[in-house]
Homo-oligomer: A and B are copies of this chain.
């Protein structure tokens, strides 16, 4: 069994941002020389997400507005913020969007449907945060 581990670092301009990371993941899969296996991509911080959806700018805006309704910033309203943080909302938003994805590798490539793209979702950015890519297979 082969394996390959890689870390990406993001420091987004905005507090909340959605970044397409598909090409970085494709590169890691290529480096791994795995032909059949799994590729795990996960946020290493608990106020950020990795998820799969569509590369369409309106939809990315829709996601951010929708998350603001389901898990508003609303500093006063969370016990977690009594610790001095203001990011309780970001822990909740990341929960909706998910921590990780697993993508099948088939014939040496990410085995994607027609529109699947991998995104990093940042909900408490403007500082260095990491994403892990792990490939296993043969």
Chain A residues with CB under 8 Å of chain B are 1, 3, 5, 36-38, 40, 42-46, 51-54, 56-59, 61-63, 66, 70-71, 78-83, 88, 91-92, 95-104, 106, 111-116, 130, 132, 134, 136-138
Contacts and interface: CB of A to CB of B under 8 A. Distances in A.
Q: How many copies does the complex hold?
A: 3
A5 B61 contact: no
A33 to B, nearest CB: 14
Contacts of A137: 1, 3, 136
B104 A130 contact: no
B79 A59 contact: yes
27 contacts: A37-B136, A38-B38, A38-B40, A42-B103, A44-B112, A45-B113, A46-B113, A52-B99, A53-B95, A54-B91, A58-B78, A58-B79, A58-B82, A58-B83, A59-B78, A59-B80, A62-B78, A62-B92, A63-B92, A95-B97, A100-B102, A104-B134, A106-B134, A111-B132, A111-B134, A113-B130, A136-B137
